Chains A and B, each alone.
Chain A
Amino acid sequence: MAKPKVAFYWCASCGGCEETVVDLNEDILKVADAVDIVLWPVALDFKRKDIEAMKDGEIAVSFINGAVRLEEQEEMVKLLRQKSQLVVAFGACAHLGGIPGLGNFWDRDSIFQRVYTEVPTVDNPDKIFPQLKTKVKEGELTLPEFYNTVKTLDQTIDVDYYLPGCPPPPDLIMAAVMAILEGKLPEKGSVLAPNKALCDTCPRAESKPDKLAIDEVKRPWQIKMDPEKCFLAQGIICMGPATRTGCGETCIKANQPCRGCFGPLDGVVDQGARALSMVASILGVEGEETMSEEEVKKLIDNIADPAGTVYRFSLASSLLRRKRME
């Protein structure tokens, strides 16, 4: 029997999702044995026309990482969708927009102004900006367009499964690959990680009071963080209650609070909104639905950069999607 065809593809990403695949160590050989890798730009010669020549659905599964923000990326993922039985959004950027999604707090013009004219090292008196087309003496040079808004993969194409995390841990990657190979897949649209909050598997769970209540939010540099005690009980904002587990609690084990890279649990669309209501409740504000605007503002002011904290990885996937620019 022919081995199933598998494609890996990357959009706007940092290379960390590739590193985590290399971190499979010896297991990577097992995967390479069981499948026929038809596309892996980091590893293999890429011929787009080979993919175009394939029959629809010929690829068993495409793993796609990175957020989408360029026309070419959009074309490529649409092509892969057409040729693949399954598409897996691989990692926080494809799943939620990830850190590049924070770009949605700004737009192209403000980014260009900062990067090419304002930063203190730049010497650019003629205010030269990168251009899509540049005439030089010898000919013309072109650049791809930099878009205003970062999109998640499922805002671009239909996605079957999600492998969460920044980056997805090797054990979840192996489990997902095995599930696909054995045809033991859950319902379409599932996130391939446990549907439990991080708090449920946190090694500090026992020190989390049944009813959390704190008077004042602390920042990680304002106290000596107790390496055993629930962060929220110490007054430090931790995304644990609003975040799916499966990461191996790696940040917690390094004595740092969760920042939410695994995204929300099933049924929660907006991770940030969920986290904010969680914070409201532990700050001892009962019935936050009835709070006045002033009370809400006071509450929010207690947290450093609330939007950038609760939407750290999920701004592009939030109901808001991006900040409205004036």
Chain B
Amino acid sequence: MRKITIDPITRLEGHGKIEVFLNDEGNCERACLQIPELRGFEKFSEGRAAEEMPRITTMICGVCPTAHHIAATKTLDDLFKVEPTPAAKKIRELMYNAFTAEDHILHFVFLGGPDFIVGPTAPAAERNVLGVIGKVGLEVGGKVIEMRKRMRNVMRIIGGKPVMPTCGLPGGVSKRITEEERRTIIEAGEYGVEFCQVALGLFDDVVLKNKDYVDLITGDVYAHKTYYMGLVDENNKVNFYDGLIRVVDPEGKEYAKFKAQDYLDHIREHVEPWTYVRFSYLKNVGWKGFIDGKESGVYRVAPLARLNASDGMATPLAQAAYDKMYSTLGGKPVHSTLAFHWARLVEALYAAERVLELAKDPEITSDDIVNLPTETPKEGVGVVEAPRGTLFHHYQTDEKGILTKVNLIVATQNNSAAINMSVEKAAKALIKNGDVPDGILNMIEMAFRAYDPCHACATHSLPGRTPLELSVFDSKGTLVKSLVRD
């Protein structure tokens, strides 16, 4: 039996290493995506003062620190049983949507974009951010930088700094928004709404008119019929900041709807000895292994999952984009992993519209930004929709608010079983009779890049390519073939 190792050596120690085992016929028997990374935040947060968690868990991920910051802050609301002021909720949600819009667009252009704008079959040397700019033109390229800069400035205004924001407090936020700042935010929101429409137009022109890509989206190689999870508001519309967690089954029917505090009734995690990541599954369906279908507790999160789990978007332009996506792809739910890219753009448009909506809200400049807690802290749970999926924080403290127990389910953890399945499915489809085609690196990479995985919340490959090395070993462990994708 041969073993193939695909190691994204950009992260020397891994954060994602794919091992492919071939059977005697030379076909893929099994593929495993290993996450060789652990930091232990659940343990070393013990003993810390609870109110510091929004400023400690940000360092789980420097790409999505705002998600941990807001999840931690909401967990403090629940821990201290204090309701934030209306203005504080809006300020948090505004920062959060600025972050989501910016992060989704970063992925669209730098990470996922090369696969579908430059094209899945384009030479590897062109499948990077420069290739994207070559295809869409410098003007659009400049707008991307401008959009990111403006949204990061909104995050700076509210949170102090875009990498590692600091404004969250139980019951509110530490800083109000001035009238002058509000005007800057409105301009950023307007720019964002316009840009996201341009991005969706590009997707239309470049991707939907490319038959190769449409075939990939609608084909079977990248499809899994799983459960889907996402936060929804009172009208079952997608919400990133707050709401109830809704789960739909592989046919799109509501399976469960629960509040964050009840997450233990619904989610369990499975441990495998060959990876440091835990695999989440629906407790009441059960762990049946790395398989899809209604009988398997495997579920998916992040953009496509959120759209599948909702009844639509709460803003008009995003709703129109949502309708178009589902009518083009044949109705709900959509199971194709590559449709995550499209859903991500729909969400970016919603996030930008929401930034604008909130910035125009008269209450946003209120100075009533914090309610002081009066209850003795004991236990709290908080949830947000991180760009990469549902994110749970759960704290227990002593009566002084010193942490005694901490549990975290980070976004990519929810998707970890499905990502493994997608990688294995691609490997099985592409490796036949011992033939390992050079294009396999692209194709396997596309399978996991669609999830925008943030393994150990740190594996972002900014210019849109993960250099991979693939080694083929024979049964004696001798290297017989080596491929490097530049």
Contact = CB atoms under 8 A, between A and B. Distances in A.
Interface of A: 10, 12-20, 22-23, 25-26, 41-48, 70, 72-73, 76, 98-100, 102-103, 105-106, 110-111, 114-116, 118-124, 128-131, 134, 136-141, 143-144, 146, 166-167, 169, 219-225, 227, 248, 250-251, 253-256, 259, 304-305, 307-309, 312
Given A43-B462, A103-B39, A141-B34, A219 B264 contact: no
Nearest to B55: A259
A223 B40 CA distance: 32
A167 B275 contact: no
30 contacts: A15-B457, A18-B462, A42-B463, A45-B485, A46-B467, A72-B13, A116-B271, A118-B405, A123-B287, A128-B273, A130-B271, A134-B274, A138-B23, A139-B1, A140-B3, A141-B19, A143-B275, A143-B276, A219-B51, A221-B171, A225-B174, A253-B160, A254-B158, A256-B55, A256-B160, A256-B174, A304-B49, A305-B49, A305-B52, A308-B49
B81 interface: no
B315 interface: no
Contacts of A169: 161
Given A16-B164, A41-B10, A254-B166, A105 B63 contact: no
B85 to A, nearest CB: 11
B164 A76 contact: no
B29 interface: yes
Contact of B159 (A19, A26, A254): A254
A305 B19 CA distance: 43
Majority secondary structure of chain B interface residues (helix, strand, loop or mixed): loop
Which of B42, B267, B401, B458 has its CB near the most chain A CB atoms (within 10 A)?
Answer: B458
A129 B370 CA distance: 43
B29 A130 contact: no
Majority secondary structure of chain A interface residues (helix, strand, loop or mixed): loop
Contacts of B270: 123-124
B400 interface: yes
Given A19-B63, A73-B13, A308 B48 contact: yes
B460 to A, nearest CB: 5
Question: Which 7 A-B residue pairings sit nearest by Cβ, starting from the closest?
Answer: A16-B62, A254-B160, A138-B21, A111-B40, A45-B467, A99-B59, A304-B49
Given A20-B163, A131-B273, A221-B51, A120 B407 contact: yes
Which of A13, A144, A222 has its CB near the most chain B CB atoms (within 10 A)?
Answer: A144
A76 B12 contact: yes
A225 to B, nearest CB: 6
B43 A110 contact: yes
B36 interface: yes
A11 B44 CA distance: 19
Contacts of A139: 1, 3, 19, 21
B145 interface: yes
B378 to A, nearest CB: 15
Nearest to A124: B271
A142 B460 CA distance: 23
B62 A120 contact: no
Nearest to A76: B12
Contacts of A251: 160-161, 166
Contacts of A23: 152, 162-163
Interface string B17-38: 0010101000001101010101
Which of B12, B38, B165, B272 has its CB near the most chain A CB atoms (within 10 A)?
Answer: B12
B10 A46 contact: yes
A220 B73 CA distance: 13
A73 B32 CA distance: 23
A73 B60 CA distance: 19
A107 B337 CA distance: 39
Given A44-B467, A73-B12, A115-B38, A122 B278 contact: yes
B416 interface: no
B12 A115 contact: no
Given A136-B274, A251-B161, A254-B174, A144 B63 contact: no
